Structure formats: C-alpha cells, structure tokens
Amino acid sequence: MKKLFKGLFSIFLFLVLTSGILFAIYPKQSKKFLLESIATITPILIKSDPYQENKYGVHPLLYQKVEQMRLQLQKEGIYIKVIRGHRNLKEQARLYAQGRTTKGGIVTNAIPGLSFHNYGWAVDVVVFENGKPKWNNRHWDRIGEVGKSLGLTWGGDWKKLVDRPHFQLKIKDILLAD
C-alpha cells in the first residue's frame, strides 16, 4: 500500500507542477488538462473493476458501513435501498454527457475516472415507501446524519451539485483499508 501511495503521490506531484506551468501560459485549458490527466491515469493505477465480495460491487468497508446505516435507519422506520454502487467508465461517460451533450439534467460533475463510483468507493441510496422509491422525502437530512456518523461523506453537503442519495468513503479510509 505504501508503494502504491508513493507512486500516486509522485504522479499527482508531476501533474500539479505541469498544471501550474500550463496555468501560467493557458489558464483555461490547464484545469481541463489536469482533470483529464488524472482521469486517464487513475484507472490504470487503481482497481476499477467491481469488488466481487458483495452485490453492489463496492469496497468491503463501504458495504459494511452502508449496511450499518440501512439497519440503523430501518429501526427508525426509514427504509433505504442501494440503487447504485460500482459504475463502469462507459456508464460514467453516459451520465457525464447528460445535460451537456445529451438530453436531461446534469446529474454528475465527475468525468469518467474521477467518480468514486468507478472504483466501488461510493453508493447511491433511495428511500422506499410502500415498495416504491421516494426521491423527494423528508428523511434525507436524517439519512445524511446517520451516514456521516458512520464516517461516510454525504453528497447532500456538497455546494456545487447537491447529491443527497450519494455516500462515499473518505480517502483516508480507502488508503488505510487495503
């Protein structure tokens, strides 16, 4: 794990330095270059296949935390289901295009390779009432609270694109878990 972290840090440092130089010359293009470079390199360095240990294809630590969240909320009469775990790069590209080059509203700011879903580090959940998904419900704040109490990052706290169904592992947990 230390070797992987050292390699990732070296690549990250190279990209930051390169982007800094490019930013001085081409301010608008350099941010795009950095993001596209990271998105290209990351799937090569980090496993992007689904985890086989559980039905959502997510990291075992995430699965454990989401199950704890589900059971805690169930005790409170709130029933959630995971509707998406691992997402392949092709599906990520389709979602990223939505609202940009294809019909529909924008649902993600993550280009393929930069979504935690691509590595099994994120899930999306929804509340089910009477056997049907309820996207607009009064329970989101409580769901977010429980997820955060278990150490997850909640997309409901994001400023640019609020994503209440989204929960993901923290980077430190990913690095320490493997």
10 Å Cβ neighbour count for 116?
Answer: 23
Higher pLDDT, 21 or 100: 100
> Which amino acid does the sequence have at 142?
R
Q: What is the CATH number of domain 60-177?
A: 3.30.1380.10
Given this model, what pLDDT does residue 105 score?
93
Ramachandran class of 104: left when φ > 0, alpha when ψ lies in -120 to 50, beta otherwise: left
pLDDT at 95 over 70: yes
pLDDT at 97: 94
- Mean pLDDT confidence for 22-48: 62
Give the model confidence (pLDDT) of 39-83 as tens digits.
Answer: 666 665 566 677 888 889 999 999 999 999 999 999 999 999 999
Q: Name the DSSP letter for residue 104.
A: S
User: Residue 35: pLDDT above 70?
Assistant: no
Burial label for 121, CB within 10 Å (0-12, 13-18, 19+), is buried
Of the candidates 51, 66, 58, 177, the residue with the CA atom closest to the CA atom of residue 121: 58
- 125-175 pLDDT, tens digit per residue, is 999 999 899 998 899 999 999 999 999 999 999 999 999 999 999 988 888
**Domains in the chain: boundaries:** 2-45, 60-177
Q: What is the Cα–Cα distance from 21 to 147, expressed in whole angstroms?
A: 40
Strands 80-84 and 153-154, by their bridges, are unpaired
Q: Which helix (H) or strand (E) holds 74?
A: helix 60-75
- pLDDT band of 17, cuts 50, 70, 90: low
- CA dist 151 and 14 (Å) reads 31
pLDDT band at 19 (very low <50, low <70, confident <90, very high): low
Q: Is the dihedral of CA 106, 70, 175, 55 positive or negative?
A: negative
Residue 9 is predicted with a pLDDT of 62
Other CB atoms within a 10 A radius of the CB of residue 146 amount to 22
CA 33 to CA 82: how far, in whole Å? 34
On the question of pLDDT at 122 being above 80, the answer is yes
- Judged by average pLDDT, the poorest of 20-29, 112-121, 141-150 is 20-29
Our CA dihedral for 140, 119, 116, 151, rounded to 10 degrees, sits at: 60
